[in-house]
Structure 1
Amino acid sequence: MELVALAAESYVYGYPLVRDLSVVEGAMYTGFGPLPPTPFNHFAHADRPVPADTPFVSVGDDTVRSVAHLDLSGGPVLLHVPDSDGGRPDGAYRVLQFVDAWTNNFAYVGRRATAVRAGDWLVVPPGWAGRVPDGVLGVIDAPTSVVTVIGRSACDAGGGHGPDDPGGPYDPGGPYDPERVRAFREQLTVTYVEPGTHRTGLPAPDPDVPEALRFFEQLRVWMADFPPSAPDQAYQDRFQRLGLLEEGPSPYVHADAALVGALTEGLARGRARVEEASRADAERGGWVMEPHLFDYNLDHYGVGTIDSPQWRIADREASYRTRAVAARSALWGVHGYEAVYAHTLCDAGGERLNGARSYVLRFEGRPPAGAGWSLAVYDMAGYGPAGQRIGENPAGRGLAYAEDGSLTVRVQRERPDDPVEAVNWLSVPGGDFRAVLGLRAPGAGILDGTYEFPAVERVR
């Protein structure tokens, strides 16, 4: 039973690495979601906001993605980043997020985190001590030799639509100002700095390992090629008895029956722990958000990150479970100080939101979000987008505020007859749905819990 418990621990600990690199590998050969197959050190671009049921999407994320998997085994690369709308403070929200193989968010380049100007960033592998080229904006130290860069671009120009616009609010299935997004992403480039041999794929697990033990073989091989921080390496030494630290030929090809049984049962237990911890409380009323889901990075604080106890999980072993939950439910999501997504399934009376009813949300003022916000609805059949969203960029254009600064949003199927209500109208599907409020660069009131989210009041 001791080996079973150890195997369960190793699953929770190693799941993020296996999950991340499995997605990276799939992205190279078959693509992922709306992203086409793309080799290392090239960007893949989505044409639309990705569906909310795509496994690596935080629920309600309303940005258009550009993703590059960088291989630094042959040396550093230069990442060229264009400016954002000429550096205007109210320009479109854009950020590049850097994630290592263990799913740690270790750097951000964007309007919140860095100066908004065009230029090159040097991304270097662990232990690199070469010369930094002249003229680079900065150096990004990668904790592992394979990292993922996720570029997020706000999918609309900001603001709502006028009362004479028959199209209603922003429609993620329709036009979203593609030219501005396309102009930005076409200038995102990756170039090699030094001559060297870069990988064309990931280190391969032994194909002769039985399928039941494949997870542990992947973990063994990838832990060796992508070692974690020193404190994490000290923790994973306990897995020696499981064969996870053995080099060379796989110990799982001809493993004895006792080890196979312990690993198989341990995997099931570890998976059950992650599933249970990941299960959202679907019946909970009110708004739910998790601004600290990505606070498990305890060792790598690069450009744009916040090195503060507020954004660290104090207990390292507890951080492993949180990391596994994040990898399962929102792979490649961002820290809460970059963006948060609050969601609710119920109205203020505790009843499920349903398109057969009408609702209003009254904001006392603009939500405290420095880089814009949006309100969207998603259906319950896989949480796919239900059709429309409204919101604002920092300029606050388009929505109709009352003289006292409040904003009332009408949520219902039919377009309101009143022209002011029509500006602030969010259409909904016919059945059950969830509402998602996205806040980019959220203010202190969001993060410390003092901001009062608007109640979803049913109109009777």
Structure 2
Amino acid sequence: MTDLDTLAAEAYLYGFPLVFDLEQVVRYTSTGVGSNPQAPFNAFSHARTLATAADTFVSINNDTVYSMASLDLGVGPVRLSVPASDRYHVLQFVDAWTDNFAYVGTRGTGNDAGEFLIVPPGWDGDAEGSTVIHSPTRVASIVGRWSCSGVEDLPAVHALQDATTLTPLDPGAVATGVPAVEAQGDDVLDFWEKYRVWSQAFPPAPRDEALQASFAALGLTGDAPVGKLSDEQRAALRAGFEGGAGVIATAMAGAATGAEPGAWSATLHVFDYNLDFFEAGAMDDPAWKIADPKIRIVERAVAAKAGLWGNHGYEAAYVMTFLDGDGQPLTGEHEYELQLSPPPPVGAFWSVTMYALPEFYLVANEIDRYSVGDRTPGIITDADGGLTIRISRTRPSDPDAAANWLPAPEGAFRPILRMYMPGEAVLNGTYSPTPITRLD
């Protein structure tokens, strides 16, 4: 690779989270995503069902019902009203660069009713008795999750969703949203044009300004569309796109491989790239910060690709694996067993969710079951409260195994163990699930 190619690969790793994030913001405000209907800026889109295979979003969970909102604080402050709740919930705030900068909910601010004022960068005004949440970027997202134990629990969740509202203080202000980007002729150049336009519209954290400015030689900091750049620049952007994507793919594969065959990879710190913005419920603690700037940029890109809008480890811990106990890739061609005994130590609840590769989407199956956990109806627990989960493409013939069946796709898959409000044994690494055992 030339020096310009290398620079473009660095730009891809830096810019991928911004582009990937804002593409989803555009989806939510224009067409909706899966069971979350379209909603304009500064209004909630409430899913009314648990996620299914129809929800084509990276690593979406099946434990909670989503309440999503795209914020455009160009209209000025927006008031968030949250009702009292007796169940686990979290409203996670994510800026345009995918920094998790605030958490409202059970762990972060408690289960009491609350009033919050979400304000744009540089705002300095009267909070009117509300808790102020400063957004690092004009456009941001609220990713809300309400614990739901099944269909019979949905009416109670719906009531809480309906009582959760956003109200701009200036009702006449008009949201401008995400700047439109003209097509440049192919997907690669379209990516770079989105990055060029959006990186200028949504300034990064001050610590990243110099890095962003260093991409001037690629034509990414100017006014000219990338389709009109020199042949050398466009060739470098194509090489950088491929090289950066390869780095992400390699990092994802490496992160999923433990020290021992089939060991689960704990991603407790994959979302620790926010070093600058800490509002309500967000922990400003060196233990939850990636200090190395190069590692931070790569981790941010990997986190966006594999689990966009995932929580910090202190809110919800995610562990995953692509391999069985013999170190072989997990695939629907075989049958497996996972023993979680004793059960994961959590303050809220836990589950194992199935995802097909390479998209990391939920898996369609005959019983519409996408996860198995401590709240799954009809499961058979072990003597210590743990669970032995059967993983296979077809329904097991044994009744006990069928009760604890997690359906798999025909091809490669990756399960994720989610632990909401993880206990200290999870956070300090002394708890780890056993490898998945192949049965055939």
For 1:276 and 1:353, the matched residues in 2 are separated by 20
Distance 1:53 1:31, change over 3 A: closer
How far apart in 1 are the matches of 2:247 and 2:339? 37
Partner amino acid, structure 1, of 2:236: A
Q: Does 1:443 find its partner at 2:417?
A: no
Deviation, 1:333, is 0.9
1:262 deviation in Å?
A: 2.4
List per-residue Cα deviations over 1:4-58 (Å, max 9, x = no partner): 2222211111111111112211221122233222211111122333347956443
The aligned counterpart of 1:152 is 145
Structure 2 alignment gaps of length 5 or more:
none
Once the two structures are superposed, residues 383-438 of structure 1 have per-residue CA deviations (whole angstroms, 9 ceiling, x without a partner) of 53454344336xx99977666x4535353744766xxx589734545967655422
Aligned to 2:226: 252
C-alpha distance after superposition, 1:299-344 (max 9, x if no partner)? 1111111111211111112211111111112111111111123334
d(CA) in 2 for partners of 1:441 and 1:123? 25
Please give the alpha-carbon distance, in whole angstroms, between the structure 2 residues aligned to 1:219 and 1:353: 36
Residues 116, 133 of structure 2: 8 Å contact kept: yes
Offset, 1:276: 2.7
Of residues 406-415 and 19-28 in structure 1, the stretch that sits farther from structure 2 once superposed is 406-415
SS of the aligned residue for 1:66 comes to strand
Identify the match of residue 246 of structure 2 among 272, 281, 285.
272
**Residues 15/437 of structure 1: CA separation in 2 closer, same or farther (3 Å cut):** closer
User: Cα deviation per residue 1:90-132 (whole Å; 9 max; x = unaligned)?
Assistant: x3x2100000000100000110111211122100000001111
Q: Name the CA shift for 1:209/1:440 in 2 (closer, same or farther; >3 Å).
A: same
**8 Å contact kept, 1:356–1:431:** no
| RMSD, matched Cα | 3.2
Matches within 5 A, 1:150-299: 150-156=143-149, 175-194=151-170, 197-205=173-181, 207=182, 209-211=184-186, 212-246=188-222, 249-252=223-226, 254-279=228-253, 285-299=262-276
Matched with 1:41 is 42
Unaligned runs of 5+ in 1: 86-90, 158-174
1:275–1:179 distance in 2 versus 1, CA, 3 Å: same
What is the alpha-carbon distance in structure 1 between the residues aligned to residue 17 and residue 174 of structure 2? 24
Residue-by-residue CA offset, 1:287-308 (whole Å, 9 max, x unaligned):
2331111111111111111111
Task: For 2:13 and 2:263, locate their aligned partners in 1 and report how far apart those are by CA, in whole Å.
Answer: 30
1:70 to partner: Cα distance: 0.6
Q: Which amino acid aligns with 2:386?
A: L
Counterpart in the other structure of 2:373 = 391
Residue from 291, 310, 321 that aligns with 1:314: 291
Shift of 1:444: 1.9
Q: Deviations over 1:333-378 (max 9, x none)?
A: 11111112333455545565769757462513x4211111124455
Match of 1:78 in 2: 79
- Work out the CA distance in 2 between the residues paired with 1:354 and 1:48: 27
Q: Once the two structures are superposed, what CA deviation does each residue of 1:65-107 show, in whole Å capped at 9, x if it has no partner?
A: 111001100200001111213xxxxx3x210000000010000
2:339 is aligned to 361
* 1:184-214 per-position Cα deviation (integer Å, ceiling 9, x unaligned): 1111211111356332432223x37444533
Identity score, percent? 40
TM-score scaled by length of structure 1: 0.82
Return the alpha-carbon distance in structure 1 between the equivalents of residues 420 and 322 of structure 2. 21
Q: Is the 8 A contact 1:79 1:189 kept in 2?
A: yes
Q: Is the 8 A contact 1:96 1:151 kept in 2?
A: yes
Match for residue 140 of structure 1?
Answer: 133
User: Secondary structure at the residue paired with 1:98?
Assistant: strand
Matched residue type, 2:94: V
Query: Partner amino acid for 1:252?
Result: V
Q: Is the 8 A contact 1:377 1:428 kept in 2?
A: yes
Task: Name the SS of the counterpart of 1:73 in structure 2.
Answer: helix
**Letter of the structure 2 residue corresponding to residue 12 of structure 1:** L
Indicate conservation of the 8 Å contact 1:49/1:64, yes or no.
Answer: yes
Residue 256 of structure 1 and its aligned partner are, at CA, apart by 2.5
Q: What secondary structure does 2:228 align onto? A: coil
Verify: 1:407 aligned to 2:386, yes or no.
yes
Deviations 1:233-266 (A, max 9, x none): 12212112222222xx425353232222222322
Q: Which structure is larger by alpha-carbon Rg, 1 or 2?
A: 1
Structure 1 residues 424 and 227: alpha-carbon distance in aligned structure 2, compared to 1, 3 A threshold:
same
Say whether residues 1:116 and 2:111 are aligned partners: yes
Query: 1:172 is matched with which residue?
Result: none
Structure 2: distance between partners of 1:141 and 1:302: 7
User: What corresponds to 2:9 in structure 1?
Assistant: 8
Q: For the residues of structure 2 that align with 1:25 and 1:209, how far apart are their CA atoms?
A: 18
Which letter maps to 1:263? L
The answer as to whether partners of 1:65 and 1:152 remain within 8 angstroms in 2 is yes
Q: Secondary structure at the match of 1:190?
A: strand
Change (3 A) 1:216 1:345: closer
Deviations 1:118-165 (A, max 9, x none): 12210000000111113x2x11110001110010112216xxxxxxxx
User: Structure 1 CA distance, aligned partners of 2:350 and 2:190?
Assistant: 42
User: Match for 1:444: what amino acid?
Assistant: E
What's the offset of the Cα at 1:215?
Answer: 2.4
Contact 1:123 1:142 (8 Å CA) reproduced:
yes
Partner of 1:164: none
Letter in 2 for 1:67: M
TM-score, normalised by the number of residues in structure 2: 0.85
The letter of the residue matching 1:265 is A
Q: Distance in 2 between matches of 1:332 and 1:416?
A: 38
Q: Secondary structure of 1:292's partner? A: coil
Distance 1:178 1:256, change over 3 A: same
